Every structure is written in C-alpha cells, then in structure tokens.
A and B are shown apart, each in its own frame.
Chain A
Amino acid sequence: MTISSRIIKSSFRDPSGFVFLDGGTIYRQINKCYREHYEYLMGSGLYDALTEAGLLLNHEEVDKLAGRSELEYKVIRPEQIDFLTYPYEWCFSQLRDAAPTTLAIQNIAFRFGMTLKDASAYNVQFHQGKPIFIDTLSFEIYEEGHTWNAYRQFCQHFLAPLALMSCRDIRLSQLLRNNIDGIPLDLASSLLPIRSRLRFSLLSHIYLHSISQRRYADKRVGTGRRISQQAFLGLIDSLESAVRGLSYEPAGTVWSDYYSDTNYSDDTLRQKESAVADFLDAVLPRSVWDIGSNTGRFSRLASSKGIQTLSIDSDPAAVEKNYLECLRIGDTKCLPLLADLTNPSPGIGWRNEERIALINRGTPDCVMALALVHHLVISNNVPPGLIAEFFAGICHSLIIEFVPKADSQVVRLLRSRQDIFEDYSESGFADAFRQYFTISRKAPLSGSERVLFLMESKGN
C-alpha cells in the first residue's frame, strides 16, 4: 500500500500535517512548517491544561515514518476515537455542546498565548460521551492585535445551524450535509425568521456579518488592522452568549413520543427488553448499532453491558431525547446519532472522500433492528431480501423484530396506501433472511404478534 493511499482523505487542507492510517491505527504527521507552533503548544503548558480538562485528545509522539520525510517533523499517535461522527449527524444539543467546547479551548489557548486558527465542527468528536477537540494542529501562536481567523468558520459551522434549528426548523441541520464548510451566512439570514433579528447576537454575528461578507466579497482588503486583547475576548464571550441563548425543546415529532403513543403493554415491553438482553448475552458483541433506536431505550440494554453502542435514529427529537438521557445517566458507551437508514450519510467533499459515508465508517459486531423492518418494507418499499443482504454486509449478528400486518402500527402504515405487500408475512420474512443468515433463536412477544429473531450471518 502506498503512503498516499493510507492518508486520510479529509486531511489535505492544512499544510501543517496530515492524518494517516497504519495497521488500523490513526497517526498524525506534523510537518516542519508547524514545528514552532507545536513546540509552543507542548512547552507552554497549554497541551497539558487542555488534555487534563478533557478538551483535547491525548497523543504520544512515536518513532514512525509516514513516508513524507521531506516534510516530516514528528509523528504522533492520538488516542483513538471509537466512531467518527459528523455535525449533520448530531442532534441540537450535541452541536450546542460542541460549540462551547471549541470556544472554551480558544479561551484557554488565549491565556497561554495561542489561538485556534480554525473552528471547524469536524474538529470535534464525541468520545466517551463528551465532545472533545481532535485536531492537535489547529493551534497557532497568537500575535498581538490579530483578529480571530476562525470567526467566519465558527459562525458557519456552529452558530448558523444552531440558530436555524432553534428559531426555524430542527431539520435544517441537514444543510450541513450540502455545505461542507458550514451554512453560508447569507443563506442562514434568508431562512431565519425576522424575529430572530431582535436578538443582538444573531443580528450581529449572522445578519450584519453576512452583509459585510457580501459587501467585501470582491474588495481589496488590507490585513493591517488590529483589535485589542479585550476586544478579542469580547468577541469570544459574545459568541458563547449567542450559543447559550439558543434552545430546542424536543417534542411533537412522530417518533419522540413513540413509547407513550403505542399499543405496547408494559408487560410486552419488559418481555422485549428481557429477550433483547438475553440475545446480547448470547452474542457478547463488542460493538452494536441500534438502527431505528428512537429514544435509545433498547440501546441502553447494550451500553449498560459496556458495549460500544451507536444509537441511530432519523427523528431529531428522538435523538435529542436520547442524548439528553445519556448525559443525565452518565452513559458514556452510547452514542446517539441522527441518520436515516433509507438515506444514510453519503461520502461528501472532494472526490466524495473528505467525509466518509456512514456505512463505510466501521462495522459493528451486532446490529439491532427493532420495530424497523415494517417501516422499510411498507413505508419505503424495500424488499425484505434487500434488507437481509444489507445487514449481512455490515454485521455478523442480527437482533431483528418482525412486526406482522395485524399489528396496529402496520395497520396505521397501510391505512392511507394500497397493500401491495402480499408476501409480507413472518414466513416470507424468515425465508428472505435465511438466504444470508442462520436463525439461531426466536422469541415471540406475548400480548402482540411480534417476533424477535437472533440471527448469525452465513458469510462471516
């Protein structure tokens, strides 16, 4: 394998270094041009202060050559992140927690005579339940009087999406998927309601900022102007207040109220929990993807056993509730994620490789697909055979629930459409999955006609 094929495709923008993969471990090369800043970061005490506060990812320097010796100053091995996620896969509170993390790092860096040269939301990852900054090369020595170079990026990556989610529509976070460098401020300005201009922070950092961008887009601009340290701190403080002032109350969507709006009896729910827990004990997976996890009730069965759990749902309110619950109970093994299995995050950016497609970012030992199949089949016309093929491609063990036509949830789905699913039955479902899986256990849920299956892939 050549060195260029091992370089992580998203790390080409910053000439200070690049990230590469070797033997399944992520490393970062630091180039000679960044030497002065790196030595200052490590020698000034800033690195220690940030890592002790849990704000910056730990790393160790290693004797490893990345193959670019003409550029290389050092190679570091950062603490490994379990699963990479991107801002368009975060719920409101995840993005809102990532924003002050970035600003807190900027404030601490400033005290040590450094500053962040960029404020990309992609520099933050969720690690052990908390947002953490992963880009060791984002720090540069502060020069007296300089403005904050990352101001525009912070507004586009954090403030604009948060304002849109809070003041207009929670689903607008998906604009980040189309705009890899954050939501353009003129677009945010045109989408935000007029009343948001009554907030000084949004009026200034989004509306007036966007006017200024338009005004100076093609003008000669000198870089000689300076701002005082107090003005610099005032800018960061104002951005902190702006983020803190935005809120979102998760309620009213179809799925966020699912468990209070379903025909499950408490007994059936308990029986389902018990069966899922038994299946997990039988499989003993190290990692689980709970797809269609809703508010994470069943994800917590896995995470409470110490299993790294990705809790995926397409409903922003449900993911928000899930994340807040994880914070409340201190669940560091469960990572809630906003994604739709019928349209999962694709590869985006340069050559579609800068940000990796969700299903290419890792494979779990076990997938849980509870109360999901009927939505894929009935609502999205996906044949059961294709669902089985997909799951067999990403996991070894599968815990899956079959929901029959007689179930009130399926009746509801079929109420407004023609029933073209003659083969949708338990036997048809099992036959489709037997092409790829061996059914090892089966647990009918009393009080309903639903059935839980534990399956093992034939391919692995």
Chain B
Amino acid sequence: MKCFFAIILFSVLTSLWLVQFFGSAHTYIDPGSGSYVFQILIAGLLGAVFATKAFWKNVRMFLATRLGKKRSNKNDDQ
C-alpha cells in the first residue's frame, strides 16, 4: 500500500513539473492557478481512496449485519 502511494506521489510530483495546461483563460498572476492544477492532479487519487474506503465500509457493514443476524438466530435457537 505504501509503495502504491509512493508511486502515485512520484507521478503527481512529476506531473507538476511536466504538465502544462493551455486553454482559454490567461492570467498574469493568479494565485489560484497552481491550486487548480494541483487539485486536478490529486483529485483522481483522492477519489480512488474515497471509493476504496466506501467499499470497505460497505463490506464491514455487510459482514457485521450478517454476523449479527447469525448470532441473534443462534440465541433464538437456544
């Protein structure tokens, strides 16, 4: 997992230096430009982490519900 993050971070860092964004807007000094670019670069990674967290949360909830049901069935049988 740590290796995965390291690779992603290396990619983001490299991207920061290599990627150029060209488009319609032109700003002389825009303190938000770098934040915008960085957000574009980092958001994909953070979205993937968010989706993974949500997936595991659902799995845990599913297992907890199933195990809870089994236990309550056992108790009922006794």
Contacts and interface: CB of A to CB of B under 8 A. Distances in A.
Interface of A: 147-149, 151-152, 155, 200, 203-204, 208-209, 211-225, 227-228, 230-235, 237-238
B25 interface: yes
B58 to A, nearest CB: 15
A406 to B, nearest CB: 57
Contacts of A211: 13, 16
Contact of B39 (A200, A203, A235): A235
20 contacts: A147-B39, A147-B43, A212-B41, A214-B34, A217-B29, A217-B30, A221-B23, A222-B21, A222-B22, A222-B24, A227-B44, A228-B44, A230-B47, A230-B51, A233-B50, A234-B43, A234-B46, A235-B42, A235-B47, A237-B50
**The 6 residue pairs across chains A and B that have the minimum distance between CB atoms:** A222-B23, A213-B34, A231-B47, A234-B50, A234-B46, A152-B35
A212 B46 CA distance: 17
Interface string B2-39: 00010001001100110011111111111111111111
A151 B39 contact: yes
B36 to A, nearest CB: 6
A225 B44 CA distance: 12
Contact of B32 (A152, A208, A215, A233): A152
A152 B33 CA distance: 10
Contact of B36 (A204, A223, A231, A238): A223
Contacts of B26: 220
B34 A200 contact: no
Contacts of B31: 152, 213, 217
Given A208-B13, A214-B34, A231-B46, A147 B40 contact: yes
Interface residue SS majority, chain B:
helix
**Interface band, chain B:** 35 or more
B53 interface: yes
Contacts of B48: 234
Nearest to A227: B43
A327 to B, nearest CB: 28
Contacts of A147: 36, 39-40, 43
Contacts of A225: 21, 36, 40
Nearest to A218: B29
Nearest to A155: B35
A204 B8 CA distance: 11
- Interface core residue of B17, B23, B33 (most chain A CB under 10 Å): B33
B49 interface: yes
Contacts of B5: 200
Nearest to B45: A234
Nearest to A209: B38
Contacts of B41: 212
A231 to B, nearest CB: 3
Contacts of B42: 204, 208, 235
A193 B41 CA distance: 25
Contact of B43 (A152, A213, A222, A231): A231
